[in-house]
Amino acid sequence: MKTLWFNYLKYCLPDWGVGVLLCFLLYAHVAYYIPYQLCELEHENLFVSDTDTWMRVWETPGGLADVLGLWLTQFLAIPYVGCFVFLLPIFLLWPVMICLLRQAGASFAFVVPVAFGSVITQLLVQYDFNFNQSGSIALLAAWLFLYFLSQIKPSGCRWAMFMAGIPCVAWLFGSIVVVYTLGGLILFFCRRNYMWAVVSLAVLGVMLAVGYGTGCIENFRLFLSPAFYYCSLVEFPVVHWISWVIPLLLILIVRCFPSFGSSLRLGVRGIVVCCLWAVVTGCFLHYDPSFRNTSNQTLWRLNHYSFMEDWKGMLDFLSSRRPITNQLYMNYANMALAQIGSLGDHAFYFHPRGVKALLVEANSTASVYMLMSDVQYTIGGIADSQRYAFEAQTALPRMCGVQTLMRLVKTNLILGHDAVAEKYLALLEKTWFYKEWAHRYRKFLHNPRALEADVELGEKRRGMSKHNRFVMSHGWNRELEDVLQSDPSNRKAIAYLGLSYLLAKDLQGFRNFLETYYGTEGLKQLPLAFQQGVMAVYPQDVEKWEFYRVSSQVKDLYLSYVKQLQGLQGYPGKKRQMKKEYEYTFWYYYMFT
Amino acid sequence: MKHLLYCVLVLVGLGACTPDVRVDVRWEEESPFAGEYAGIVVPVNIAPLNFIPTDSLVFESVLVLSGSGRRLVVRDKQGAFIPELKAWKALLSSLRGKEIEVEHCVKTEQGWASYRPFTIAVANEPIDPYLVYRLIPPGYEKWHEMGIYQRNLENFEEQAVIANRQTDYNCINCHSFCDRDPDRMMLHMRAKHAGTLLIEQGGITKLDTKTDRTLSSLVYPYWHPGGQFIAYSVNDTKQLFHVNHSNRIEVIDYASDVVVYDVRRNELLTTPALFSKENMETFPAFSADGTKLYFCSASNQNMPEDYEKVRYHLCCIDFDAETHSFGQQVDTLFHAEINRKSVSFPRVSPDGHFLLMTLSDYGNFSIWHQEADLWMIDLRTGKTEAVDEWNSSSVESYHSWSSNGRWVVFSSRRGDGLYTRPYIAYMDHDGKAYKPFVLPQKEGGFYQRFMYSYNIPELVKGPVEVDNRRLVKQALDGEIIKVKELE
């Protein structure tokens, strides 16, 4: 016994230390690289905490894994806690795999790093935004169940339990039953009791056939693969099979070579162990970018800022990424600027290109629809905001998310569709984290006076178009004009409208805009970009400069701009030269963008 | 082990016990259940109703359903009172053609009290046992999951006839049955794997129904009772979004025609009255004997500007199935301009006496019209009136008759203004309509959290038995037969 413990401490303690250190590093990795992916997962899902939800556990194959996975998503947006919740089922795989590998006969020497290999493969797969956390929960459950079975000594009893477990695992955890069955066969029956193994496989086959025949299993191929836990709208990447194949392979190897490594000298063992850790770490670092969705992290981050209404955070982040070439990011930038009231002053700070810098076109993804809903909500286009929020909701994998629901509550309240707002509120009231929010908004139901007194909702309702027409029937500018007709004090809409003329380089339109709106409640004083627009529209008309109260700094800058431009006539590096001093001006945009 | 078993049995026994309700005080006040359920008529074969109070209940409550010496006590289960299936069935069987007395009893500090009882009538005539509908979120341009499902009305079983997750998330729509026969149905698929699936006596045919002379593929269907023909509209449809209107969106036709598809010959028939350039014809429906074809017709307008001027008349034309020919004269049964209303979904009762239709202020896509209501024409007398018992302040739109003509299922948005729910209503021989009730569900809070609309509820005489996988296979890989050009 003493020797056993000595061996254990000698071989495993350093390994455990390395493993725990790696766990911390993985946590840091997740916290650094994908915190906003986790937020997006939270925003795109809704866990309604009631009996109906938990009853779904029994309704379809994989119900328990699905409900548990969904339950976990509600914690993912909590800073740092979300990362831990995301990693928890994966980290738990590690001790379970160690126990199982030991049970399979692996020597102390290599079991810890080898088991960590399955943690890494599962983490890589779960990095994929479209892979549901239920897949990791199901894998953990399958291995855990097998470990408990391995503790049963009488082989007949263990076999019976194993057999009984096949339908249970299939029903509660879904396609992971394949791993469970194969893993069980390797662990318990690969070197003896072949008949039991054959019978077990037959049971699995019969169960699948019955499931298919009765319609419980709709897609046979899906039920035999990890694609069961993957978003059904997206093609399943074949490489994701690693999360099933690698651990099964490890157990198989251990079963085939149980005493491997036990006879090696201590030094050699040490080298092999170090190599194993290096391979595990190296594989993770090498393959991580190909599993992790690197292209959408920024979009999810911006969406999270928008969800939290953290406009300053959004602008700070975007400032560090200038120049912005992505129109989606540009939409967020302009929206954040409008929200803090400085769109007119910093309109060219992020290098916008064209009118789509204000509002992109729909591309049928939930993220873009939600962004469009956000922009429309910002300017007061409530009907359109509602439309895009609903489209975003329809595009979500589960067709219901916290963020879309909250927007739908607000827009329906503003539009006076209280009954459906009440339906959504009732759902949000059954969540842990949005209960309070829902209670707060419930007071606006059937209470127009309270709604109109509310700073946000009241302003939006007052700004609603008094006359009906079809949305976008006469273009974006007409939408904004309509909003302004109802609420001339809407500075966000004014900023968007003026800027849309400037971005379109429509000087005549901008001139009309000035004539219509200058001096109204929302445009008593022209912001910087509009003053620059005045200089472009009336380059020689000093009276107009005075009338529109163009500041002396803008005038001086314009004069120096014109002078420098004239001086550089014919010079091939003119654009570069002008950019140095005037890149944030409308004049530079007008001539060189 | 034995002790454990005894404990379990005792617990089960306790759970099954109903409280001993002996009412000491009778209140004159109306029960919070009465508004929704008092005076409804239910079919003898319907699944247990969901009794859900309109206000939250202050006291512990039970519902006592009684009649003909039977008594059924129903307890609260998560805010809803749903009778146990077997007991409910027994109660209905014993009260066929009679009334159930519903007594809402509450436990006060002084003992049991009861509100003024109300009654529910049990009709003699059963309803067709299955309802087929499409489940789809009430969205606009984007869609995701949808499917055509059948629900056994005698219990709570629901099964997918076909779901679009099986067919690459395409759009599945416009299911229709020949005279409520589950063995003769059709449905369309759009986007991926586009085509029309025609299911007849186990055979499945996939059709490409777009021809050079028609505006579009075939759209809104209605089977001829003989089964040889299906009338369809062909439509050029767009949807637009309102900025500030009681209706969220407007689905408008820029042009439309009506054609009749000959199932046997795989060809289309039409006549100038159904295929004119000056008018838009849509929503065809055959009479019960198949000798007339009803349709909606409106004169062309400058679209989309004049969308509110588009009002559809209800017209009809003779149809001869033997000679494949149409009559020469078009009768107008409901004049849209005179009545300042627009007709959609004309549906004739199986006895041919009544025509049920949806009327809205303008246009034809009534599901998005809050003002849309159900109206009935007595075809024997020509009397036309709104079915007030069935209408609400919200949308009433699609509807279908049961095969005995005593029941109507219609879709309504009265629940929350957006998500359509199916309502079941009784109409007696004289055409008197009775208060409807919503399709009962297994869980009381079902509709509050359900994020789909029930679209095109169609009553059928039995289950759709076409094998789902065969249907999917045909939908995905089936040979497509091109419909012959319109001559």
Query: Are B223 and B190 in the same domain?
Result: yes
**CB-CB under 8 Å, A215 with B142:** no
Which residue among B88, B122, B156 closes a domain? B122
- pLDDT tens for residues A164-196? 999 999 999 999 999 999 999 888 876 667 777
Which of B135, B244, B442 to mutate to probe the A interface, most A CBs <10 Å? B244
Would B107 be classed as within a structural domain?
Answer: yes
The residues near B290 (Cβ < 8 Å, ≥ 6 apart) are B224, B225, B226, B319, B321
Q: Residue B95: which domain range? A: 23-122
B468 and chain A in contact, CB less than 8 A: yes
Residue B65 lies in a domain: yes
Assign residue B155 the CATH number of its domain. 2.120.10.30
Q: Are residues B85 and B206 in the same domain?
A: no
Instruction: Supply the pLDDT for residue B251.
Output: 93
How far is Cα B146 from Cα B160, in angstroms, rounded to an integer?
10
Q: Which helix (H) or strand (E) holds A217?
A: none
B53: closest CA of chain A, how far (Å): 16
pLDDT in tens, chain B (487 residues): 444 444 444 444 433 444 577 888 889 999 999 999 999 999 999 999 999 987 777 778 999 999 988 999 999 887 889 999 999 999 999 999 999 999 999 988 888 999 999 999 999 999 999 999 999 999 888 888 999 999 999 999 999 999 999 999 999 999 999 999 999 999 999 989 999 999 998 899 999 999 999 999 999 999 999 999 999 999 999 999 888 888 889 999 999 999 999 999 999 999 999 999 999 999 999 999 999 999 999 999 998 889 999 999 999 999 999 999 999 999 999 999 999 999 999 999 999 999 999 999 999 999 999 999 999 999 999 999 999 999 999 999 999 999 999 999 999 999 999 999 999 999 999 999 999 999 999 988 899 999 999 999 999 999 999 999 999 999 999 999 999 987 7
Question: What pLDDT does A182 receive?
Answer: 92
Q: How far is A492 from chain B (nearest CA, A)?
A: 19
Q: Report the percent of chain A where pLDDT is more than 70.
A: 96
Residue ending a domain, among B100, B122, B144, is B122
Write the ipTM.
Answer: 0.91
Token representation of residue B8: 């379990």
Same domain, residue pair B289 and B406: yes
B104 vs B113: CA distance, rounded Å: 8
> What's phi and psi for B98, nearest 5 deg?
-120, -160
Domain count, chain B: 2
Claim to verify: residue B71 and residue B197 sit in the same structural domain: no
B344 near B336, Cβ under 8 Å?
no
CB contact at 8 A, A506 and A537: no
**Domain membership flag for residue B394:** yes
Domain A300-462: which CATH class?
Answer: mainly alpha
For residue B361, which residues of chain A lie inside 8 Å, CB to CB?
Answer: none
Kindly list the residues from chain B whose CB atom is less than 8 angstroms away from the CB atom of residue A399: 137, 144-145, 451
Kind and range of the H or E run holding A494: helix A491-503
Of B105, B122, B139, the domain-final residue: B122
CATH label of the domain that carries residue B86: 2.60.40
- Which residues of chain A does B142 touch, with a Cβ-Cβ cutoff of 8 Å? 364, 369, 391, 394-395
Q: Do B400 and B440 belong to one domain? A: yes
Q: Which of B139, B166, B243 sits opposite A469 (nearest CB)?
A: B243
CA A152 from centre of chain: 43
Q: How many inter-chain contacts (A to B, CB under 8 Å) are there?
A: 97
Domain limits, chain A: 2-291, 300-462, 488-592
Q: Are residues B253 and B399 in the same domain?
A: yes
Q: Which of A235, A387, A393, A430 to mutate to test the interface with B (most CBs of B within 10 A)?
A: A387
Closest A-chain CA to B448: A423
Q: Compare CB distances from A399 to B78, B141, B145 and report the shortest one's residue.
A: B145
Q: Which residues of A touch B (CB under 8 A)?
A: 48, 50-52, 215, 218-219, 232-233, 364, 369, 383-384, 386-387, 390-391, 393-396, 399-400, 415, 417, 419-420, 422-423, 426-427, 464-473, 482
* B6 within some domain: no
Same domain for B274 and B304, yes or no, is yes
- What is the C-alpha to C-alpha distance for residues B237 and B256, in angstroms, rounded to an integer? 8
Q: What are phi and psi of B345, to 5 degrees?
A: 50, 55
Rg (CA), chain B: 24
* pLDDT value of position A261: 64
Quote the pLDDT of residue A107. Answer: 72
CA distance A470 to B240: 6
Question: For A458-462, A489-493, B44-48, B242-246, which range has the lowest pLDDT when averaged over its residues?
Answer: B242-246
* CA A501 – CA B189 distance, rounded (Å): 43
pLDDT-based confidence at A266, cuts 50/70/90?
Answer: low
Span A511-516, average pLDDT: 96
Residue B467 lies in a domain: yes
Quote the pLDDT of residue A575: 85
B181 and B46 in a common domain: no
Q: pLDDT value at position A262?
A: 65
Residues B208 and B330 in one domain: yes
| Separation in Å, CA of A22 to nearest CA in chain B | 40
Three-state secondary structure call for residue A130: coil
Residue B241 shares a structural domain with residue B359: yes
Query: What's the mean pLDDT when you consider all of chain A?
Result: 90
Residue with tokens 């512990």: B60
Residue among B139, B165, B243 minimizing CB distance to A468: B243
Cβ-defined contact of B417 to A215 (cutoff 8 Å): no
Q: What is the tens place of the pLDDT at every residue in A296-315?
A: 999 999 999 999 999 999 99
pLDDT tens, residue by residue, A398-447: 999 999 999 999 999 999 999 999 999 999 999 999 999 999 999 999 99
Q: What is the pLDDT of residue B5?
A: 46
Residue B145 lies in a domain: yes
The Cα B331–Cα B291 span in angstroms is 14
Segment among A208-212, A582-586, B290-294 with least mean pLDDT:
A208-212
Task: For residue B310, count other CB atoms closer than 10 A to its CB.
Answer: 20
- Tell me, yes or no, whether B235 lies in a domain: yes
